[in-house]
Amino acid sequence: MLGLLVAISAVACFESSYADAVSITTVTVPNRGGWVLVWPRPGDPNWVNRAEIGCEYTISSAPATPPTITWLRGTFADKQVIYKWSSSGEVYVHPDFAGRVSVESRTHPTLILVNQGGWGRYWCRVTNEEQPGEFGTDEESRLFWYGSGYDLPGRLSWLNLDKTPVHVEVGGTVRLNCNGTSGSTASILWVKGPSCIQGGGCDSYETVIHKSAQYGTSNTEPEITISPNYTGRVSLDTQYYTVNDYTYLEFTPTLTITDIRPSDAGRYWCSPAHTELYSYLGTLNRDAQSVVVIVNDPGTEPTCAGKPDGMYQHPADCAQFYTCSGGLSYGTNTCPAGLVFNQELQLCDWANNVICL
């Protein structure tokens, strides 16, 4: 009888506080393929230097606390926080942007720029603090230009990634469809993350594959770097085309990953860029978009089919737990050293508080 009561209360605990344990954040910056332009009109006393960059987002299984909204400026690989509206309500503005950036709505976090000059790439990042790391953080960017128009930079990095979450079984293959900047000297980067580091922030990324060729050396083989975690399992589409008897190599950033493992679950960022064009613009030329991969393991890994949303102790190792949401697995995690997973309390706990199921 006592055992039954414990079982019932554990289930009730799942349903009340861990319903929809995993949620996915998806950010959309409308018209991200085009510039936000500001044209100065020196003779017009009514002219104001003001621009808006829109941002929309969805969080599947809305969290109880509002997400953190962050706007950044720079390249995908190197950007600076200019504005941050934390989950707690606190607002930070970088001193260089004081009085020149604002956000009026947390549900539609459009960035309002006043008295800005020059150009830059601006990123809208949305972080669900209840689901930190790969599933809970997404961002997209758009370019801003201030000037007379004719000096607008021409062909810049662009991409279009299919952001529909991909479901795959262990051992299967995923194809992450990304179209973008190509050419014999393109630099294509796929990274996974961000993952959270112990005692630190959630800002650690893994380079899955980087394929690049330098300007002036387009006849040589491109350099390819692959993470040891993906050796022999990843490939990029490569196409050839012929113009006036010359054959050109074209990189298409679409990524294929074979022999999927549970640890492959997460968020993948496609980031192609020209290396030969507009090098004077520096790395601001690099855009990125992300897609989530969800791995379901019907074989050796425990299945989530039919299980209520929540985290479950791993049957093979009680220091590990796996997360289920909507009947699908969101991967396996390991507790910090010395701790084991307490399924009833849904946390990593001291071993003497936990029965390995």
- Contact between 102 and ligand NAG by CB under 6 A: the answer reads no
93 or 209: whose CB is closer to ligand NAG?
209
Q: Which two tokens stand for residue 305?
A: 């089919």
Smallest distance from ligand NAG to CB 229, Å:
4
- Contact between 28 and ligand NAG by CB under 6 A: the answer reads no
- Contact between 320 and ligand NAG by CB under 6 A: the answer reads no
Smallest distance from ligand NAG to CB 285, Å:
20
Smallest distance from ligand NAG to CB 270, Å:
9
- Contact between 225 and ligand NAG by CB under 6 A: the answer reads no
- Contact between 333 and ligand NAG by CB under 6 A: the answer reads no
In terms of Cβ atoms closer than 10 Å to its own Cβ (0-12, 13-18, 19+), residue 261 is middle
Q: Which residues on adjacent β-strands are paired with residue 274?
A: 186
Q: Which residues on adjacent β-strands are paired with residue 121?
A: 143
In the window 33-92, what residues touch ligand NAG (CB under 6 A)?
none
63 or 132: whose CB is closer to ligand NAG?
132
Q: Of 164, 173, 263, 353, which one interacts with ligand NAG (CB under 6 A)?
A: 263
Bridging pattern class, strands 137-146 and 68-74: unpaired
Q: Of 28, 184, 227, 258, which one interacts with ligand NAG (CB under 6 A)?
A: 227
Amino acid at site 209: I
169 or 206: whose CB is closer to ligand NAG?
206
Q: Give the C-alpha separation, 211 to 308, whole Å.
A: 42
In the window 188-207, what residues touch ligand NAG (CB under 6 A)?
206
Region from 110-118, 146-154, 221-229, 236-244 binding ligand NAG, contact rule CB under 6 A: 221-229
Q: Give the C-alpha separation, 104 to 101, whole Å.
A: 10
Q: Give the C-alpha separation, 168 to 351, whole Å.
A: 33
82 or 161: whose CB is closer to ligand NAG?
161
- Contact between 334 and ligand NAG by CB under 6 A: the answer reads no
Q: Give the C-alpha separation, 166 to 139, whole Å.
A: 18
Smallest distance from ligand NAG to CB 180, Å:
9
Tally of CB atoms within 10 A around 209 = 20
Q: What are phi and psi of 202, to 5 degrees?
A: -100, 75
214 or 256: whose CB is closer to ligand NAG?
256
175 or 307: whose CB is closer to ligand NAG?
175
Q: What are phi and psi of 197, to 5 degrees?
A: -100, 150
136 or 193: whose CB is closer to ligand NAG?
193
- Contact between 229 and ligand NAG by CB under 6 A: the answer reads yes
- Contact between 160 and ligand NAG by CB under 6 A: the answer reads yes
C-beta of residue 150 within 8 angstroms of C-beta of residue 84: no
- Contact between 283 and ligand NAG by CB under 6 A: the answer reads no
- Contact between 256 and ligand NAG by CB under 6 A: the answer reads no
Query: 3-state class of 108 per DSSP?
Result: coil
Region from 68-76, 118-126, 156-164, 302-310 binding ligand NAG, contact rule CB under 6 A: 156-164
Q: What are phi and psi of 112, to 5 degrees?
A: -105, 120
**CA angle in degrees (0–180, nearest 5) for 266-23-313:** 75
| Number of separate helices (H) and strands (E) present in the chain | 1, 27
**CA angle in degrees (0–180, nearest 5) for 303-305-306:** 130
Smallest distance from ligand NAG to CB 161, Å:
6
DSSP sequence for 155-175? S---EEE--S-EEEETT--EE
The contact set with ligand NAG (CB under 6 A) reads 160-162, 177, 179, 206, 227-229, 263
